[in-house]
């Protein structure tokens, strides 16, 4: 059977009693040793050096009422017992140095004594499992029961929410609502994407650490960043603004000024002072989109601003402070950029604590239908006109949109533009088969350069001069087309389905991914190697 150990702070007021009447009044730490059904094997009593005499008295009285209870005293001094930082640090240090043994001992933390600040700190330390136990609340006896030897009552509070179904269900419901909020209320069906959103929800509610969102252009990084801010705002986790900047638009000397601000006269044309985007994001969220385009000097200053919360405006000798959560977005391979010397390794290490990749739309084809409905709702909000599909037109559009022929090279931007065009051209607010046919033709024409030819593929950079010399022109054209299509898909399985759709229908191909892998291997290539075009590897 486990030994029961109670950790308690000496109550300099509640535990105090004059020698002649101390047995006629309720004293929590003495009453603790008298609780029916709660035998305490050991009491760890915390007090400061000014209360040593009171602690000695309490120790003697506990020995009187419960001789078998071992008492250990710990001196912890608080200069200001109402200073949260000081009290939390002191109690955390106590908890970290204490030799807890949960296998052999059952721990209770008495939150009856000590200041309200101390009680809150005990709650936080126990919830975080720095103290592996439960909370203990003692109550004085009711007035009619007061008298010599009356110990009062107690209640044990277990912070394991799994024991409380109603509370657990409420938390589960609130988490589901938060995840739905991040998805703009879209009932997405892709399991991998839904898991990613669930994890993002947990991270951004509980942490202010930087978050890196990766994925192809148009995958929804900007919209998700704004929803993250709005969720944190609703949860009162931020008090400042949402500041978004596209780093691809920051060039030359103006980049430093835009991000960090400048003082008057800092450079030619600086007629006045500028606060800068980092200062504008103070106590809020800063979203740096296309962060791979940021210069090395700006990266260094951003890193210091994130870690220390301060930086120097251009031309200033006085630092300014700004605390914000950084969200960053990129469609680049930042690891490759580090190897090329175009991105700071220490900055990437700081950003890479929480990295989430948003999949391309073509890899979430089951989510096209709910996003189709979402875009129609957005059209209604924007234009004030309700538009819908007739049944045949909807089936026709979804058959094309979820099929292998649909490239969705610009991802959700393509889908949003497509719905807007159809809704605008819909006669009497009904999208017909004819409207869908016209839209499909537009999309096919727009995607043809990327999806049906090898235009823009530099085979020489992939194969080298000797590899190119060994290719027939027929093989080169075919390989370029395959490489271009592979770069439009996030996985080898998705690319294989697009390449061998007809073979699969005729049951010629059993494993599209394996077939594509073997084809690329003939030229010494792999799907992972060709995913990032050579001209983008140097970014």
Are 320 and 279 in contact by the 8 Å Cβ rule? The answer is: yes
pLDDT for res 451? 40
Give the position of tokens 């043994």: 101
Of 14-23, 189-198, 456-465, the range with the lowest mean pLDDT is: 14-23
Show which of 389, 423, 451 is a domain's final residue. 451
Residues 373 and 506 in one domain: no
Question: What pLDDT does residue 274 have?
Answer: 86
Q: Are strands 320-321 and 310-311 parallel, antiparallel or unpaired?
A: antiparallel
Do 21 and 51 share a domain, yes or no?
Answer: yes
Residue 398 belongs to a domain with what CATH number?
Answer: 1.10.8
Domain contains 77: yes
200 and 339 in a common domain:
yes
Least confident of 95-99, 342-346, 448-452: 448-452
Average pLDDT in the chain: 86
The answer to whether residues 349 and 434 belong to one domain is no
User: Do 318 and 265 belong to one domain?
Assistant: yes
Whether residue 131 sits in one domain with residue 17: yes
Q: Is residue 438 part of a domain?
A: yes
Residue 486 located in a structural domain: yes
Band (pLDDT 50/70/90 cuts) for residue 148 is very low
The residue among 436, 331, 416, 333 whose CA lies nearest residue 371 is 416
Are 417 and 525 contained in the same domain? no
147: Cβ contacts below 8 Å, ≥ 6 apart: 24
Q: Torsion angle, CA of 481/487/489/495, rounded to 10 degrees?
A: 40
63 and 145 in a single domain? The answer is yes
Residue 164, domain member (yes or no) = no
pLDDT digits (tens, 9 = 90+) for 165-174: 655 566 556 6
Do 350 and 473 lie in a common domain? no
Domain extent for 371: 361-451
Q: Quick one: how far is CA 518 from the chain centroid?
A: 38
Domain boundary (415, 432, 451) is at 451
CATH code: domain of residue 21: 3.40.50.10770
* Least confident among 23-27, 132-136, 358-362: 23-27
Is residue 270 predicted with pLDDT exceeding 80? no
95 and 222 share one domain: no
pLDDT-derived band at 405 (thresholds 50, 70, 90) equals: confident
% of residues, the chain, pLDDT over 70: 89
Is residue 111 within 8 Å of residue 122, measured between CB atoms? Answer: yes
Q: State the pLDDT at residue 450.
A: 42
Other residues' Cβ atoms within 10 Å of the Cβ of residue 82: 11
Spatial separation of the C-alpha atoms in residues 289 and 227, rounded to whole Å: 15
| 116-117-121 Cα angle (round to 5) | 115
Q: What is the pTM of this model?
A: 0.61
Whether residues 95 and 63 fall in one domain? yes
Q: Residue 70: inside a domain, yes or no? A: yes
Q: Is residue 159 predicted with pLDDT exceeding 70?
A: yes
Burial of 393 (0-12, 13-18, 19+ CB in 10 A): buried
Q: What is the number of domains present in the chain?
A: 4
> Hey, what are 333's tokens?
């391979």
Residues 272 and 174 grouped into a single domain: yes
* pLDDT > 80? residue 146: no
Alpha-carbon 140 to chain mean position:
45
Q: How far apart are CA 216 and CA 320, in angstroms?
A: 35
pLDDT at 200 over 50: yes
Query: 124 pLDDT exceeds 50?
Result: yes
Which of 400, 433, 451 terminates a domain? The answer is 451
CA distances from 445 to 25, 64, 396, 406, 451 (A): 89, 92, 18, 11, 10
- Is pLDDT at 537 greater than 80 in this prediction? no
């Amino acid at each position: 059977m486990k030994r029961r150990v109670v950790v308690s702070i000496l109550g300099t007021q509640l535990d105090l009693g004059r020698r002649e009447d101390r047995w006629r009044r309720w004293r929590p730490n003495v009453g603790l040793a008298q609780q029916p059904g709660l035998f305490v094997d050991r009491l760890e009593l915390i007090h400061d050096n000014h209360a040593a005499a009171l602690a000695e008295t309490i120790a003697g009285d506990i020995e009187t009422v419960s001789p078998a209870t071992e008492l250990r005293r710990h001196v912890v001094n608080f200069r200001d017992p109402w200073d949260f930082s000081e009290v939390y640090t002191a109690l955390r240090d106590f908890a970290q140095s204490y030799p807890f043994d949960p296998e052999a001992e059952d721990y209770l933390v008495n939150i009856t004594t000590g200041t309200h600040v101390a009680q809150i700190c005990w709650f936080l330390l126990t919830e975080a499992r720095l103290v592996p136990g439960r909370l203990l609340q003692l109550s004085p006896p009711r007035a009619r029961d007061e008298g010599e030897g009356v110990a009062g009552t107690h209640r044990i509070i277990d912070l394991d929410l799994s024991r409380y179904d109603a509370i657990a269900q409420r938390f589960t419901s609130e988490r589901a609502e938060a995840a739905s909020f991040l998805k703009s209320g879209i009932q997405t069906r892709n399991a991998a994407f839904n898991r990613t959103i669930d994890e993002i929800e947990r991270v951004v509610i509980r942490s202010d650490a930087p978050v890196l969102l990766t994925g192809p252009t148009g995958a929804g990084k900007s919209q998700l960043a704004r929803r993250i801010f709005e969720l944190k705002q609703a949860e009162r986790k931020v008090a400042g603004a949402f500041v978004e900047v596209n780093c691809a638009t920051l060039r030359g000397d103006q980049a430093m000024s835009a991000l960090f601000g400048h003082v008057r006269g800092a450079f030619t044309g600086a007629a006045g002072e500028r606060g800068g985007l980092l200062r504008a994001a103070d106590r809020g969220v800063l979203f740096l989109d296309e962060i791979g385009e940021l210069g090395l000097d700006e990266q260094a200053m951003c890193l210091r601003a994130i870690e220390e919360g301060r930086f120097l405006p251009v031309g200033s000798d006085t630092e300014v402070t700004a605390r914000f959560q950084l969200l960053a977005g990129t469609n680049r391979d930042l690891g490759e950029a580090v190897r090329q010397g175009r991105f700071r390794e220490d900055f990437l290490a700081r950003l890479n604590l929480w990295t989430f990749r948003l999949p391309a739309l073509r890899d979430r084809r089951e989510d096209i239908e709910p996003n189709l409905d979402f875009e129609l709702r957005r059209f209604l909000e924007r234009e004030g006109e309700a538009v819908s599909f007739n049944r045949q037109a909807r089936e026709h559009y979804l058959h094309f949109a979820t099929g292998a022929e649909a490239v969705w090279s610009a991802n959700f931007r393509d889908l949003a533009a497509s719905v807007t065009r159809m809704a605008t051209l819909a006669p009497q607010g009904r999208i017909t088969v004819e409207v869908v046919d016209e839209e499909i033709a537009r999309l096919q024409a727009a995607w043809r350069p990327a999806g049906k030819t090898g235009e823009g593929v530099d085979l020489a950079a992939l194969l080298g001069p000797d590899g190119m010399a060994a290719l027939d022109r027929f093989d080169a054209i075919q390989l370029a087309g395959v490489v271009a299509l592979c770069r439009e898909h996030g996985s080898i399985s998705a690319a294989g389905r697009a390449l061998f759709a007809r073979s699969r229908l005729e049951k010629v191909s059993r494993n599209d991914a394996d077939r594509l892998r073997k084809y690329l291997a003939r030229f010494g290539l792999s799907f992972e190697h060709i995913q990032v075009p050579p001209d983008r590897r140097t970014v």
